[in-house]
């Protein structure tokens, strides 16, 4: 090992180290950190920006409009890259850092790698209190950056320049670990950024990181194979871990050889195409009648790469009480849930080993026959809800059908919150693997457009499909965060944003009224506004045009299809707005456990409480 050193500021050393980290995508060596989203302030502009300015060709910096949205763009990028490449989000201290906490939660819930760098107060405390410093009278070590601790996998504060020697490798290792994957946060004290240190030159040697593929325990595989071989009505649940393991082909081959139908979680949707022979639809509360029927009668469930959240399990009412689970997951925490036979390991490698352990076993032929019949019935039901009608206002389902028809196989559909996730999870017929991104781990309102920008950046690099992000978003969510239309216009990245204007927060209004509460503070017409009979509506097309997008408002499904064809030919961002029905939804038949008042003056609430008690009586007891 060389004893040579190089004298750099901490900020310069940090940037040089990040520029020398690499990964491989499709056999090609590429930078591990593809770029940085940054908003500079007094916590990072004088030192960190000085270092970043010198490496623009190696580590491009994209100017954000909002700290939360630029970190959400990094989340969308990580999803599009299937955790193989990472973006950095960089803010100043105080409100800039605090704005980023929501995005950190989104990355944490979805197990996605993002490196978050935030300025911090002075390590020496001499100027205290500084601008934007939040003081805790009993603990002077606490700053706003401590708020990140619950929503990141790795947290550190750098108060001495040599601390990055151990901190940075650990942060990267966490972000690339399939079991612990999530965001990493590093706070950078202002005065520490400026300090020079004699760093070992070997610290900056180029390093190629490999994504580990942990093999499962042999005894666990044997136990899983033994249980699966007893199944008469087996079922595979495909989660997001299948996609991040690049295990789509292995899953499809395994399911076909063994005669087991595959249903999908929201994060797992898109591992298989809609028309794949073993595909039986999305599962759960926003799932299909086919998948839910198969789940209810399944005796052994092989769950691969899923944390089995409540929208997948119907709050644990979707399965028979005596059904047995085999859980394959890189994370032990997820694999041991609900008395499952726990198989901790990489999805691709575990599928291969489980396949070998099963010998000649196949599920009874009638299992796949029934799955195909149920899925055909589901397809027919979708067709009924998606076909055009004479209704004055189109439904979400009809809009989804038009977008799906015009979308090219390589285009990626992006959604996150409101009524959109249910409608696209049920109704979007995936044409190519890994072209569907519905962020429903955190269901973060405001993710959609930011993620569209991040996805568009990701489509430029190796291993990308090269398609256009199609962002489907409601009017309520659009109003919450839309400034990355301007970001995409500035950087010249193409995406298509479709705003379904149904007059407010329609899907939460649906839940509110379904549980007996009169419509209140969700739809604009039910809110405290000046004119309830004629609420003020935003002209979304004009708003987007003001931010540099091409835009149209359309009044019919025919106009929507024409506008989508037009948008496909545009460069940069395009927005299309359409008024949509706040009351029409594709049906779902899975239950959901939500809080309903035990006592109420409303008769409908009291009736809803009785129904909720019945739902809870059918829940599996978890441990």
* Residue 137, pLDDT score: 95
- Element at 238 (helix H, strand E): strand 234-238
d(CA 145, CA 202): 31
* Residue 55, pLDDT score: 97
**Contact between 168 and 188 (Cβ < 8 Å):** no
Report the alpha-carbon angle 146-150-154, nearest 5: 80
d(CA 278, CA 375): 10
* Residue 623, pLDDT score: 52
Classify 5-209 by CATH class. alpha beta
Structure tokens at 89: 């989000």
Cis peptide before 129 (omega within 30 of 0): yes
pLDDT (tens digit, 9 = 90+) per residue, 308-341?
Answer: 999 999 999 999 999 999 999 999 999 998 889 9
| DSSP code, position 504 | B
What separation in angstroms does the CA of 88 have from each of 43, 184, 433, 607?
Answer: 16, 10, 26, 50
For domain 387-579, the question of CATH label 3.40.50.970 is answered with yes
How many contiguous H segments (helices) and E segments (strands) does the chain have?
24, 23
In this prediction, the residues of the chain whose per-residue pLDDT falls under 50 are 1
pTM of the prediction? Answer: 0.96
pLDDT (tens digit, 9 = 90+) per residue, 478-489?
Answer: 999 999 999 999
What separation in angstroms does the CA of 20 have from each of 176, 192, 196, 301, 512?
Answer: 16, 22, 20, 44, 52
What separation in angstroms does the CA of 157 have from each of 121, 147, 188?
Answer: 10, 12, 6
Report the alpha-carbon angle 311-101-456, nearest 5: 75
Q: Is 374 buried (19+), middle (13-18) or exposed (0-12) by CB count in 10 A? A: buried
* Residue 3, pLDDT score: 85
* Residue 533, pLDDT score: 83
**Contact between 581 and 394 (Cβ < 8 Å):** yes
Ranges in the chain annotated CATH 3.40.50.970? 5-209, 387-579
What separation in angstroms does the CA of 135 have from each of 98, 99, 143?
Answer: 14, 18, 7
Helix (H, G, I), strand (E, B) or coil at 192: helix
CATH of 218-377, one of 3.40.50.1220, 3.30.70.1400, 2.40.170.20, 3.40.50.1820: 3.40.50.1220
Structure tokens at 584: 């029409």
Q: Phi, psi (5° rounding) for residue 435?
A: -125, 30
d(CA 238, CA 251): 8
* Residue 303, pLDDT score: 98
d(CA 78, CA 454): 8
**Contact between 187 and 157 (Cβ < 8 Å):** yes
């Amino acid at each position: 090992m060389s004893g040579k050193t190089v004298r750099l500021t901490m900020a310069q050393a940090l940037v040089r180290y990040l520029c020398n980290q690499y990964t491989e995508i499709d056999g090609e060596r590429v930078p591990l950190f593809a770029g940085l989203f940054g908003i500079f302030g007094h916590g990072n502009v004088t030192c960190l920006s000085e270092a970043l300015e010198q490496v623009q060709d190696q580590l491009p910096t994209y100017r954000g409009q909002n700290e939360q949205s630029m970190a959400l763009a990094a989340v969308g990028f990580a999803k599009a890259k299937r955790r193989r490449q990472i973006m950095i989000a960089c803010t100043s201290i105080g409100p800039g850092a605090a704005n980023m906490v929501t995005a950190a939660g989104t990355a944490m819930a979805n197990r996605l790698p993002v490196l978050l760098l935030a300025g911090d107060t002075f390590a020496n405390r001499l100027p205290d209190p500084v601008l934007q410093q939040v003081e805790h009278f009993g603990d002077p070590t606490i700053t706003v950056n401590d708020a990140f601790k619950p929503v990141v996998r790795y947290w550190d504060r750098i108060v001495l320049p040599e601390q990055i020697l151990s901190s940075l490798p650990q942060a990267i290792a966490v972000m690339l670990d399939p079991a612990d994957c999530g965001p990493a946060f590093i706070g950078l004290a202002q005065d520490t950024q400026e300090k020079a240190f004699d760093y070992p030159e070997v610290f900056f040697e180029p390093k190629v990181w490999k994504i580990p593929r942990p093999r499962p325990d042999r005894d666990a595989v044997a136990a899983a194979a033994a249980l699966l071989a007893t199944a008469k009505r087996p079922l595979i649940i495909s989660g997001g871990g299948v996609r991040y393991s690049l295990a789509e082909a292995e899953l499809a081959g395994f399911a076909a050889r063994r005669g087991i139908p595959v249903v999908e979680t929201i994060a797992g949707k898109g591992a298989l195409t809609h028309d794949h022979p073993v595909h039986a639809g999305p599962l759960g509360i926003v799932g299909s009648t086919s998948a839910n029927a198969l789940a209810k009668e399944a005796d052994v469930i092989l769950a691969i790469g899923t944390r089995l959240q409540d929208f997948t399990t119907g709050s644990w009412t979707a399965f028979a009480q005596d059904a047995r689970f085999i859980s394959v997951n890189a994370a032990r925490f997820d694999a041991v849930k609900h008395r499952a036979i726990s198989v901790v390991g990489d999805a691709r490698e575990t599928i291969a080993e489980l396949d070998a352990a099963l010998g000649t076993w196949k599920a009874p032929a009638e299992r796949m026959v029934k799955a195909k019949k149920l899925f055909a019935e589901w397809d027919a039901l979708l067709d009924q809800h998606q076909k055009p009608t004479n209704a004055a206002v189109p439904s979400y389902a009809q809009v989804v059908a038009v977008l799906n028809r015009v979308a090219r196989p390589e285009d990626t559909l992006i959604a996150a919150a409101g009524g959109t996730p249910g409608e696209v999870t049920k109704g979007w017929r995936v044409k190519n693997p890994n072209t569907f991104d519905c962020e429903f781990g955190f269901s973060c309102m405001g993710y959609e457009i930011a993620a569209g920008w991040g996805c568009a950046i990701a489509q430029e690099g190796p291993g990308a499909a090269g398609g256009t992000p199609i962002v489907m978003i409601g009017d309520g969510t659009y109003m919450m965060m839309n400034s990355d239309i301007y970001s995409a216009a500035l950087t010249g990245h193409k995406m298509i944003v479709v705003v379904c204007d149904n007059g407010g927060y329609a899907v939460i209004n649906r839940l509110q009224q379904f549980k007996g509460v009169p419509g209140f503070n969700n739809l604009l017409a039910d809110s405290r506004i000046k004119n309830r009979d004629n609420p003020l509506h935003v002209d979304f097309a004009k708003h987007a045009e003001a931010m540099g997008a091409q835009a149209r408002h359309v009044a019919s499904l025919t106009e929507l299809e024409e506008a989508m064809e037009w948008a496909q030919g545009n460069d940069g961002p395009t927005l299309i707005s359409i008024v949509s029905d706040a009351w029409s939804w594709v049906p779902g038949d899975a239950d959901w456990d939500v809080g309903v008042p035990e006592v109420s003056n409303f008769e409908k609430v009291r009736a809803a409480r009785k129904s909720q008690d019945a739902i809870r009586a059918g829940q599996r007891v978890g441990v």
